[in-house]
Structures are given as C-alpha cells and as structure tokens.
Structure 1
Amino acid sequence: MSYRTQIRRKVKGVKVYSITQAILKSTKLWLPPDDEQTTIANFLDKKTAQIDQAIAIKQKQIELLKERKQIIIQKAVTQGLDPDVPLRDSGVDWIGEIPEHWEIRRSKFLFTQRKERAWKDDVQLSATQAYGVIPQDEYEEKVGRKVVKIQFHLDKRKHVELNDFVISMRSFQGGLERAWARGCIRSSYIILRSLEDIDTNFYSYLLKLPSYIKALQKTASFIRDGQDLNFENFSKVDLFIPPLKEQNEIAMFIVQQTSLTDIATELYQQQIKNLKEYKTTLINSAVTGKIKVPELV
C-alpha cells in the first residue's frame, strides 16, 4: 500500500484533513539500501529532466500557435480580407487605420442594454473567459467540478438571449463574452443586445481583441477601485462596422484559417497531459520497486 493511501485511510475530516503525529508514526515506509536509493534518485533526476524538457518544448509550440492565431484574427478583423483596399485613419487610437468604407460608431449606437429580469424557465448561466456564456451544467462538465448554484431569488437575475454579449467581472482582462445559450445570469453583469443585424462571430473576435481590451481598461479606474465594468465604460470605446457581408466573410475566413491551429494546439495539450501522467507513473514505479532501475553510466 502506498504511503499516500495509508495516510488517506487514517485521516479524519471532511474538507480539511487532520494529520497527527500518531498517524505519521503508524504508517510504514520502505527503505532500500543506500546505494539503491542513490541509483533510483539519479535515474529519476535524468528521466524527469528529459520529460520536463519535452513538456517545455511543447508548451513553447502552443504559445507560438496562439500568437499565430492572434495575428490572423487581429489582421482580418481590423483590416479585412482585401490587401489592396484603400485605408483611412479611423481617428480612434485603439483602432488605427481601417478600410475607408468601414463605419466608426459609438458603441451605444450599435449595442444597448438588455434589462429584462430572468424568465421562469431560464437555466442558470456561467460567464467564462474560456467558453463564453454557457449553461452552468455544461461548464461543470467541461471543467470537471461543481459550481455554486443560486437557489433563491432567481427572479432578480438578468435574462440573456442567444448571441447577446455579457460584460462580466473579468471583462477588463479578457474582453466581452458571447452568450451561447438562453438563460439567466447574475444581476451585476451587463447584458448587451445588438440594435441592428450583425455577424455575432465577427464581433466575438472584435470584442476580445487585446487592443480593444486595453481601450476598455483606459476608460476608468475600475481596476484600482475594485469596480466592475459598466455600460458607461463600454460606451466610451468606439467600434468599427464593416458591411454585414464582409463581417460574414471575415468570420468564416478566421474559422478556416485557425481550425488547423486549434487542432495542433489540442494535440500538443494531449501530449503534455500524457507526458505528465508518464512522469507520475515512472516516479511511482521507480520508488516502489515495480521497475528495475538501471545503473547510469
């Protein structure tokens, strides 16, 4: 029986375990001869260093893929797909030059607040940086853990429609979140609905651009004061509006161009997971004598 298993079977408590000296004294340890201990330690030092190096290389590859993806998104969203289109100065610092036929507009004239209270059949939603605004049950499945659900006063929460955008407590870090489902969310969040036809995919990319997020951060001292972003902050950052057909084309282009990047990223992430599992298994097998450890030359 492993040392950890012995401890777990003897400790008491629910969330915070209490490990006493008596428990520690009652556990059994295996003690190889000194020369074997040295051999095992040297073997694991070498092997785990090789594994860590392989993981670091793959993590670097993931970072490079993310940078490439962001470059594709930034260029397509802010300049369009025609390399020969005439550009003009937008007059807005965070935007810079844009195709001359694109419109600049105050955010509040493209989006307005949705202030409806939660409907009776609304599911509870979670606003997440990684997955957008999704049902809490779906979020729990993705992250493999439970989240706290509100049991009372659900009628005080705000109603969200599919393809709305949500300003959450983390929007100053990661931009606005797109709603992938209808439901309700905490009342402190700001729900935005578009005032005209837009391509939601296009604005999903635009409202998470690093340059847009920096512009949001400059609108107030909310970070220092611990305040959430509000509609007034959002309204201070102008947006650009390509023709709807171009919005559609740009969004489709980004999906096509970044799909292979996403596949490669997932592959590297799986490889990293496998290496970490192998490292754990290797250490356990070596220190418990399940594998024969060779002498290092």
Structure 2
Amino acid sequence: MSSDNKLTESRVPNWDAQSSDYDLTPIKRLATYGRNTFVDGDWIESPYITDSGIRLIQTGNIGVGEFIDKGDRYISQDTFEELDCTEVQPGDILISRLADPVGRACIAPDLDERMIASVDVVILRTREDIDSEYIVNLLSSEPYLQHADALCRGGTMQRLSRSMLGNIRVPIPSYSYQSQISNKLEQEKSGIDRLIESLEDMRETLHERRNQIIQKSITGKIVGAENHSESSVDWIGKVPEHWDVVRTRFVAELHSGHTPDRSNDEYWEDTNIPWVTTSDIKPFRKGRKRYIHETENQISELGMENSGAHLLPEGTVFLSRTASVGFSGIMGQPMATSQDFANWVCGDEITPEYLLYVFRSMDQEFERLMQGSTHQTIYMPDIRSFKTPLPPLEEQREIVEHIETETEQLWELIDRVDETIDLLEEKRQALITAAVTGQIDMSKEKGVIQGDD
C-alpha cells in the first residue's frame, strides 16, 4: 500500500454500514466561503481576562452535542480589537481540540452577548447546504470520536490539530436527508434526555440526603439527648449539653505540607516517600472514598529533609485547602503532603474517622472562608481557627458507624442510578451512530421523502 493510500485511510473513520449514497467530505470543506469560517479561537492570556464585556467560550463549555453554560470569563472591546479576535456567531459549530473526549462539538447558542472562543476551540461556520444539527450529531458519534482520539498528539495534554481535524472525512448525504436524520434524532434523544434528567435529579436528592445524615450526626441532631446548648458556631448550631466544642488543633496536631525545590535534581532522585498532592484528590470528590494508600507522586528523603515537608503517621487526616478546596481523607500509611493540604494528627480525644466526617460536614464553612477568584484558598490562620463538636470517644465511634451504615445504603441506590444513566447514555450514543452511518432507514419514517429530487 502506498503512503498516499495510508494517509487517505487515516483521514477516514470506520463508518460501518454507511449509505452508498453518502459523500465522504473533509470537515474543513463543510465551511462556508469567506474569512474565519474554519479557524481556531484566540489565544487569550490571563491579564486580558475581565469580569464583563465579550464572553470567552472555552473547551469546558463544549459537551458532547450540547453547550454547557458555565464560567464567566470575558475580554474588553479594546482587547478584542488589539488581538484581532474572531467573533463567534450563534449557530456556529464549536469543536474542542482537547479531551474529554477530543473532537466533541456543540452549536453556539444565542447568549444575548457577544462571544469569542479560546484557542483550543475550532469555529466552524457551515455552508447553506449543510445542516448544523446533523454535523453535531455526526461529531458525537462513536466512529468519529474514536478516530479523533487516535489522531491526537502531545505529551501531558494531548491535542487534535485543526489541520488533522479538518482532513477527517465524514459522510454527507443530501441536505433534506441530513434534516430528516436531525429531526428523527431530536425526537428520540429528547425522550432519553428526559429520563436521564429525572435520574440526575434523583441522584442529587440522594446526595443531599447523604450530606444531611452526616451533618445531623456530627452536630448531635440524631443523639437522644434531652438538653442542648448553643455552640456559638454558625455551622454547628446547638449540640448536646454533654458535648464539648473545641478548636480542632487542641485535639489534633495541625501540620502543613511543602514541595521540595524542583530546580534541585538531587531532591527528585530515589523518590520513595508517598507524597499527597492535588493529583490525588479526584477519587475523594464524591465523598465515598475515605483512605488513601498510594499516591501518584513521591519525594525523596533528601528532598523532604531540605524542605518544609515531613512524614506524617498513618491515620493522619488531610484536607485540601487550595485549588480543589475542602476534600478530605485519611492516610493509610505514613505520607507527606504538598503545601496544598492541612493535615491533622489526631490525639487521644478524637478518632480520625470522626474528624473526617467533621470536615465532610463543613462545606458551608469552607465556602465562607475561601478567598481568591481564579485560585481559591483557605489560608492557614483560618484553618487554625476551625472548631469541632466533640462528643465522648465511644459516642464518636457510634456516630461513625451510624453514618457509614446509613450512607452505604444511599451509595447502593446512587450506584444503581448511575448504572441506569450509563445505559441510557450508551443507548443515546448508539442511536446517534446508527443514524449518521445509515443504519436507520429514514424512508420508513412517517412523512419522510428520501433524498433530494
């Protein structure tokens, strides 16, 4: 096989069962004629970001087939003119060159404000004989997404270049047939999406119930005590009279972490000490995982000795305080941490598991204490002022057992909901793929006229 043939094949996803009438067209050829109809967005550096003006659309706003309205980054009109930015128009197709997944696309909505896109977003303004909804469905199909992923290049953050994206060939039937497919998919997907939305609401309710169980347990609302006293701490409220409310650092030693000097190569040789960083936080986000036994990164003894980091004992409770704020866990073996964590070595009056649930009931307090706009942080002086409700040790153990028993039942229900959502999303994906690859005979649909005359 010649190199030219290999190159041609590399541009064509595996469009199984595609209609013989479909033309395979490079994505870049779907663009209408004119300037900036198939272009990358703009490179916008942090100093140019403002709180109002022209909205910056980023890869995080692009879902698989849907626009995700989040974030509030803008640039000024002066910056728009200085950088000669490309304006996004409602109806343009926005394609992400970054994961996850690479190549996903959505239609730019009318947000009632001017828009631009970041550099890793490709703006596609289609020809009049191209149905944008059909293209977005096409770019949400499994053959395309798998192919786009295979074309990525790069190390830590893989990207799909606009050139490679533009050369991917996609099946383009007649305009009327594109519209028929879009209309059919809209009907079918809307039913699936309604089911998914109701299940997501159910999942949210279960998570709220789980948080209520933890909050009420930690603040003594489930204890059969006759008398309660005011704690003078907003997030705690009243607690049973026989409980204490103390500064957390009075019952658990507070330690910070540190990062050894990265410019000194010797500090990063023979690394064998587990070192908790923000890279380890993801599994703790849902609030189910309690212990960490392995870390993504390690440091060396030499690096630790020449920095503010130090080895903390098994059972230490860690709390993330920067970037991903408010996530907590318990060390399953001796570990060190970066400066992004506050760490608590429990004394004789408090158990690690109980303290863990104290932190997991403090979301409201964390939100109050966070400072910063781009990178939020809880500073150490505020952490030193933390207070905790403190029942007797035996009662702490009973509270932990109650929380774990009650929440495990809720987690089982959440797991079932998640499994059902996954099945529905798989069905949705299969439906899209079948439609855009010609596996659904549109001529059998009521009122459908096959092709263009």
Does TM, scored on the shorter chain, surpass 0.5?
yes
Cα pair distance change 1:43/1:215, threshold 3 Å: closer
> Which residue identity lines up with residue 430 of structure 2 in the other structure?
T
Over 3 Å counting, the alpha-carbon distance change for 1:270 and 1:170 in structure 2 is farther
- Within the candidate set 294, 312, 316, 1:164 is matched to 316
> Which structure has greater helix proportion?
1
Task: Identify the residue that residue 195 of structure 2 maps to in structure 1.
Answer: 54
> How many Å apart are 1:292 and its aligned residue?
2.9
Q: Distance in 2 between matches of 1:188 and 1:30?
A: 49
Shift of 1:265: 0.6
8 A contact 2:245–2:389 mirrored in 1: yes
Q: Give 1:259 deviation, angstroms.
A: 1.3
Q: Secondary structure at the match of 2:215?
A: helix
What aligned pairs does 1:35-74 form with structure 2 within 5 A after superposition? 35-74=176-215
Q: What letter matches 2:206 in structure 1?
A: L
Letter in 2 for 1:94: W
Question: Are residues 82 and 10 of structure 1, via their aligned partners in 2, closer, same or farther at CA, if it must alter by over 3 Å?
Answer: closer
Report Cα offsets for 1:109-139 as digits up to 9, x if no partner: 11113479999742233452424663555xx
Take 1:262 and 1:9, find their aligned partners in 2: how far apart are those partners?
33
Matched, 1:191 2:360: no
Instruction: Tell me the residue number matched to 1:270.
Output: 419
Offset at residue 256 of structure 1 (A): 1.1
The AA in structure 1 aligned to 2:342 is I
CA change 1:230–1:161 in 2 (3 A) is farther
Matched residue, 1:94: 235
Range 47-56 or range 171-180, more displaced: 171-180
Task: Provide the aligned length of Structure 1 versus Structure 2.
Answer: 282
- State the SS of the aligned residue for 1:82: coil
**Partner-residue secondary structure (3-state), 1:124:** strand
Report the equivalent of 1:134. 292
Change in 2 beyond 3 A, CA 1:42/1:17: closer
Q: 1:184 is aligned with what amino acid?
A: A
Give the counterpart of 1:237 among 375, 386, 390.
386
Aligned residue type for 2:238: E
1:81 aligns with 2:222: yes
Deviation at 1:206, TM superposition (A): 1.1
Contact 1:58 1:268 in 2 (8 A): yes
TM-score (norm 1): 0.78
What is the rounded CA distance, in whole Å, between the counterparts of 1:88 and 1:71 in structure 2?
A: 20
Contact 1:116 1:159 in 2 (8 A): no
Match of 1:200 among 352, 368, 373: 352
Tell me, which stretches of 5 or more residues in structure 1 are unaligned?
Answer: 138-146
Q: Does 1:295 align with 2:445?
A: yes
State the match for 2:252 in structure 1.
111
Q: Does structure 1 conserve the Cα–Cα contact (< 8 Å) formed by 2:272 and 2:299? A: no
With a CA cutoff of 8 Å and minimum separation of 6, indicate the structure with the bigger relative contact order.
Answer: 1
Using the aligned pairs only, state the percent identity. Answer: 20
1:122 to 248, 260, 273: 273
Identify if the C-alpha distance between structure 1 residues 57 and 8 changes in structure 2 by more than 3 Å, giving closer, same or farther.
closer
Looking at structure 1, the residues matched to 319 and 149 of structure 2 have their Cα atoms a distance apart, in angstroms, of: 46
TM-score with structure 2 length normalisation?
0.54
RMSD of aligned C-alpha atoms?
3.6
